Amino acid sequence: MPEVLTVDEFIADPVEYFDWSLTDMFTMPAEKRNQFQIEGLKIRFEQLRDRIGFLKKLADRDGINSIEKVEDVIPLLFDHTIYKSYPSSLLETNNFTKINLWLSKLTTANVRDVDVSACTSIDSWLDVMDRETELCIHHSSGTTGTVSLFPKAKAELSAFTKLYPLRFQKFGDPRPREVQPKAHVISPSFRSGGSAHFRINDEYFKRIAHGDDDFMHVAFPGRMSADILYLAGRIRAAKARGELDRLELSPTLMSRLQEFETDQSKREERMREFLEEVTTKLAGERVFMACAPTYLWPLAERSLENGKSGVFASDSVISSGGGAKGMVLPDDWKEQVMKFAGVDRLTMNFAMTEMNANNLLCENGHYHMAPWIIPFILDPDTSEPLPRTGTVSGRLAFYDLLPDTHWGGFITGDAVTMTWDKPCGCGREGPYLHQTISRFSELQGGDDKISCAASAEAHEEAMDYLASLQSGAS
């Protein structure tokens, strides 16, 4: 590893810092990692303390003016709800000027001076923001009727996505000569859109398909509209509350929604067709495929039944992650997928929009934290930090050193178990997460304490139930 590189380079562009070597990245010695983490954190705090409005308020309130050890940042971590803390009516009424006022407290990018008063939809607002700022805002899917708006910077996204070609490397091997091999991208989703899993397609196109359209295979060539996603969430919520007639929607949006609902009903079918097509067309080719287990496993099962196995080149990358969403996967589903695809490993990733890292599952079943992520485990109820030694369970929080336009400190809604100091055995350095990760919001259900006061959970359960009735009926 080139010793001359400094901590500034480490936090600005970690993949370059490690010279694109996966093995080097995950064998950074603990001492060096700890030193760079605290130094990097000091740099970010100095850069951002007075430039991020929300951070300044928190730091002023607690009188925090310097960071001496990594734990000092804990009171300054942002709760995951902060990125949807704007009053939801602003989005309902397309008040993007005020949304930008809110956003300006979360990013150093100059969003207040951008004229968004003419924007009449989230899509049109995203277009203006994409065009006129250094941001490429990532929104969440908004299935519950509220949408997170995360001010990711274009430069940040670009530095982060250099991690994707690294998936072609096997941990333990030396740096390959060709660090960004060209491969066919198989993306069973929409080509573009404002949420993370659509935004990423442009990056796949650049980094994996090398800008070659013939190497880009997406299920749906169009754009997934943020407005439609948001509307669908709101309608679901309003239907569930029996307040659908109180929802005011413009006719244009309503007709677009109908298109979306039609698309949704055909989506499963189109997806299956698409996956069949690409597995036939790209037989024997080197591919890069990222696909949820809910599609990947049925594809593998069908193909193997039809005698199709080892369909892709053996140096392909097949990635999966996320929950099975109610589907029961057989214990050996990963082996079956590998057999079908013809690869010797399946890349499983624990990631989130707010974290610029791929935390990949090792052969021992652990998600290893990238060295520029400073993890913390907090007491789920009090948010007090738990010891950074041994094996600890609690709420995952972290500081991501990569971004320099927004604050990288984040408290997740994830219940995790972390081992800090016992080597995993796979050869990777640093702390790692155990495989079982759940959402606190899910863990809190199932209680038989009865109260006559309606809790938010009860309300949400009601909505979920009613929403399921709605989808069952349509």
Partner 1 sequence: MTTLKTAAKTEIAPAVIRGQIIDTDLVDFGGRNGDLKFRAPDPNSLLGRLPLGNPNRLQDMYSLSMDEVTDYLLSLGKELDIKTNKHLQYALDLTIQTAPMTPPLVRNQYARLPSLFTREEIDDMIGQIGRPYLEDWVLDRTTSTGAKRYVKAFGARAIHIVAGNSPVLSAVTAMRNAVARGDAIIKAPSNDPFTGIAVARTMIDMAPDHPITKHLSIAYWKGGDEAFESKLYQPHNVEKIVAWGGFASVKHITKYIQPGIELISLDPKRSISIIGPEAFDDDASMNQVAKRVAADFGAHNQEVCASARVVYVLSGSDDKGIEQTTELARRAYDSLRKLPEHVSTKPKFGINRDLKSQLDSASLLDDFYEVVGGEDDDGAVIVSKLPEPVDFAPSLTNRVANFVPVDSIEDVYPRIDAYCQTIGIYPEKLVPEIQDRLALAGGQRLVSLGYAGMAATGFGAPQDGVEPVRRLCKFIFREEADLETTPALWKVD
Please report, as ranges, the residues that interact with partner 1 according to CB under 8 A.
53-54, 57-58, 79, 81-82, 85-89, 98, 101-102, 105, 146, 241-243, 246, 380-383, 411, 445, 447-459, 461-462, 465
CB neighbours of residue 458 within 10 Å: 12
Task: Please identify, using beta-carbon distances, which residue of 454 and 473 lies nearer to partner 1.
Answer: 454
Q: Are 191 and 221 in contact (CB under 8 A)?
A: yes
CB of 204 vs partner 1, minimal distance in Å: 34
CB of 243 vs partner 1, minimal distance in Å: 7
- Comparing CA positions, the residue from 177, 154, 198, 208 lying closest to residue 19 is 177
Task: Please identify, using beta-carbon distances, which residue of 81 and 255 lies nearer to partner 1.
Answer: 81
Task: Please identify, using beta-carbon distances, which residue of 55 and 317 lies nearer to partner 1.
Answer: 55
**Distance of alpha carbon 206 from alpha carbon 432, whole angstroms:** 30
User: Is 397 strand, coil or helix?
Assistant: strand
Task: Please identify, using beta-carbon distances, which residue of 90 and 179 lies nearer to partner 1.
Answer: 90
CB of 322 vs partner 1, minimal distance in Å: 23
End-to-end Cα distance, the chain: 58
Longest Cα–Cα distance in the chain: 66
Task: Please identify, using beta-carbon distances, which residue of 88 and 192 lies nearer to partner 1.
Answer: 88
User: Is 251 strand, coil or helix?
Assistant: helix
User: Is 128 strand, coil or helix?
Assistant: helix
Task: Please identify, using beta-carbon distances, which residue of 255 and 455 lies nearer to partner 1.
Answer: 455
Q: Are 274 and 304 in contact (CB under 8 A)?
A: no
Backbone angles phi, psi at 296, to 5 degrees: -65, -45
CB of 103 vs partner 1, minimal distance in Å: 11
Q: Are 430 and 28 in contact (CB under 8 A)?
A: yes
User: Is 44 strand, coil or helix?
Assistant: helix
Backbone angles phi, psi at 213, to 5 degrees: -60, -35
Residue 470 host element (H or E): helix 456-473
CB of 276 vs partner 1, minimal distance in Å: 40
CB of 242 vs partner 1, minimal distance in Å: 7
**Distance of alpha carbon 230 from alpha carbon 90, whole angstroms:** 13
CB of 411 vs partner 1, minimal distance in Å: 8
Task: Please identify, using beta-carbon distances, which residue of 242 and 251 lies nearer to partner 1.
Answer: 242
Give CA 267 to chain center in angstroms: 22
CB of 305 vs partner 1, minimal distance in Å: 37
CB neighbours of residue 93 within 10 Å: 11
CA atoms within 13 A on the CB side of 9: 10
CB of 237 vs partner 1, minimal distance in Å: 11
Task: Please identify, using beta-carbon distances, which residue of 147 and 317 lies nearer to partner 1.
Answer: 147
- Comparing CA positions, the residue from 271, 277, 317, 323 lying closest to residue 298 is 271
User: Is 350 strand, coil or helix?
Assistant: strand
**Distance of alpha carbon 447 from alpha carbon 439, whole angstroms:** 16
Task: Please identify, using beta-carbon distances, which residue of 310 and 413 lies nearer to partner 1.
Answer: 413
Positive or negative torsion for Cα 49, 354, 370, 24: negative
- Comparing CA positions, the residue from 55, 41, 237, 31 lying closest to residue 151 is 55
CB of 467 vs partner 1, minimal distance in Å: 13
Task: Please identify, using beta-carbon distances, which residue of 240 and 291 lies nearer to partner 1.
Answer: 240
Task: Please identify, using beta-carbon distances, which residue of 97 and 309 lies nearer to partner 1.
Answer: 97
CB of 405 vs partner 1, minimal distance in Å: 18
Q: Are 367 and 435 in contact (CB under 8 A)?
A: yes
